Structure 1
Amino acid sequence: MTESTKTDEKTSAPPAPVRTSAVARWRWGALAVLLVLAVYAPFQLAPFYVFQLTMVLVYAVALLGLNLLVGHAGQISLGHGAFFAIGAYTAAILMEREALPYPLTLPVAAAVAFLIGLGLGVPAMRLRGLYLALVTLAIAIFLVPLLKRFEELTGGSMGLTLAKPQPPAWTGLAEDQWLYFIALIVAVGAFLLVASLLRSRVGRALHAVRDNEIAAEVMGVRLSFYKTLAFAWSAMLAGVAGSVYTWVIGFVSPDSFTVNLSINLLAGIVVGGLGSLSGPVLGGLFVMFVPSISQDINDAAPGVIFGLLIIAVMYVAPTGLAGLAGRLIKKIPRKKE
């Protein structure tokens, strides 16, 4: 076979199909529809359902941080609820004891959770696997009695009750609608921040650490540095979610932040989809609605029903609900290019 014949065969070969463009269009279209529905929903739903959607957004922000640590950095954490509580109590104490306006409590709660996460992350990140999981679990366990001990500051077992933020008169919104839009704005900002972070050099370093630590270290990635930062960023987002939680609920107590919260958050992000930006939203829906559904099905054994539902979801979608949705989108017929 001559060189010209080989060249003709190469030039006549059909081009490879472009698959990413169709998926990207579907994702952007779904995102646009989701945002429109999110803005439209509070004007059509009863106050209780608006409250439930607000809590979904709060949990989604917390799960966004957990996803950054577990899904993108490959580290296990069973203490995420502790940082959620730190943000909630920081906001509550500043509002109740210091009379600080509620918008100013958000950056303070984020900073406090970040610094505590950074401090705890330095020794914790020297561990991995089950050892790291046990250390983070210990953080969630000792936080509750610690909050009860400092009664003058935290209110002890009785907790703290505070007034919910009221909507400005010019908005014409009800209280539940105002809180919903606050949570929506915070959630959108958090998702944009994490999305830009993951597209940067830092995101590539986190993925390298997750996929193969030895190879990442050979390539010059500082493992301890990025692991610690991921732990701190994860804690910061949990603190942000905890602050908004305080505004929405208007009450905090140690019993609201037990180990079950950390376990539910971890289950939520696994079911929602690790390593996916849509996973935290789906996980937020799971954390908000599945426990209540389990309680309605059987008052005597809600934990059993909850566990069975997790098993059923993971059997149908082992990569999470976000992974299942991605596979369904890829199966949609596309025009040949």
Structure 2
Amino acid sequence: MSAREGLAGFAALRWRWIAAAVVLLAVLWAPFQLVPFRVFQFTMVLVYAVALLGLNLLVGHAGQISLGHGAFFAVGAYGAAIMMDRWDLPYPVTLPAAAALAFAIGLGLGVPATRLRGLYLALVTLAIAIFLVPLLKRFEPVTGGSMGLTLEKPRPPAWSGLAEDQWLYFLTLAVAAAAFLLTFGVLRSRVGRALHSVRDNETAAEVMGVRLAFYKRFAFAWSAMLAGAAGCVYTWVIGFVSPDSFAVTLSITMLAGLVVGGLGSAWGPLLGGLFVMFVPSLSQDVNKAAPGVIFGLLIIAVMYVAPTGLAGLAGRAAHSFDKTLRKG
């Protein structure tokens, strides 16, 4: 490598760090400049990003299809709501408890993943999402039935000087940052390499000594844990849960958001969270009579322009910028 190429590479790396610093400053600055409703919207983007982080690990990195991710999201949401409403537990305790509950259920439901694949696995996960809503309505003494449960939102401590919406935003941001760092560490370890080998070629992975059943169940459990944590934070932010909030369309929208954001990409879950939060409401604003049509057309348009998702499109733009710097 010539000195000129080395300097160009250093300049490109410097620009990436500058871009990351700008994004970080914008994230920290936003809740102090936006109106409360916008702060709430971006808080929900972070909530969905944590849920999609788990789905990305399962589908994007382990290659296991799931159409029932919203069910694990609901497990975390209802688990936290019941602990806060029925047992009067403080909200910080509900996060690890809801994540552990979702992890245990995901570990158990991961058993079919060791025997099924492709369309058959997708149908099993879809069935989980379908029967969850009537199940929640049936146990009314615990779940509140169709009326759901109304909860008190976490209040900011006096020393923080923050409004309620700002406090919830920073709580969610802290959970999201921890989830991303933890998942990044897993994917950088031998576990991540094993998951990628399972995704790329199961036969070759098994020949190399990778325990397929173990890593498939791990992917389901880890994915469910992150969805459960996101569901818990959802309960904090919304202050209300009802069965109809977790219909099967939520699972489908999550999967669509992840694909649009960028399957298997580090930025895919965050971009997918933006998609899940803003595109349905945008579709409703464009055409109140047929928001589903607008929603579908937007997905088709994004996939046509960016087949590898928005993260892939951004990556190609960054690569072109790097090449420009190297030639300059």
TM-score, normalisation: structure 1? 0.93
1:329 maps to which residue? 318
Do structure 1's residue 47 and structure 2's residue 36 form an aligned pair? yes
2:267 maps to which residue? 278
Give the alignment of 1:224-243 within 5 angstroms: 224-243=213-232
2:133 maps to amino acid? V
Q: Which runs of 5+ in 1 are unaligned?
A: 1-12
1:106 maps to which residue? 95
Do structure 1's residue 126 and structure 2's residue 126 form an aligned pair? no
1:72 maps to which residue? 61
CA–CA distance in 1 between the matches of 2:174 and 2:17? Answer: 19
Do structure 1's residue 88 and structure 2's residue 80 form an aligned pair? no
CA contact (8 A) 1:26 1:329 kept: no
Do structure 1's residue 173 and structure 2's residue 162 form an aligned pair? yes
Structure 1 stretches of 4+ with a deviation exceeding 2 A read: 17-32, 334-337
Q: Which runs of 5+ in 2 are unaligned?
A: none
Cα deviation, residue 230, structure 1: 0.3
CA–CA distance in 1 between the matches of 2:298 and 2:198? Answer: 32
CA contact (8 A) 1:23 1:330 kept: no
CA contact (8 A) 1:23 1:329 kept: no
Deviation per residue, 1:88-129 (Å, 9 max, x gap): 000000000000000000000000000000000012331111
CA contact (8 A) 2:51 2:226 kept: yes
2:204 maps to which residue? 215
CA–CA distance in 2 between the matches of 1:186 and 1:250? Answer: 17
| Partner SS state of residue 127, structure 1 | coil
TM-score, normalisation: structure 2? 0.95
Deviation per residue, 1:275-317 (Å, 9 max, x gap): 1111101000000000000000001100000000000000000
2:48 maps to amino acid? Y
Cα deviation, residue 218, structure 1: 1.0
Cα deviation, residue 20, structure 1: 7.5
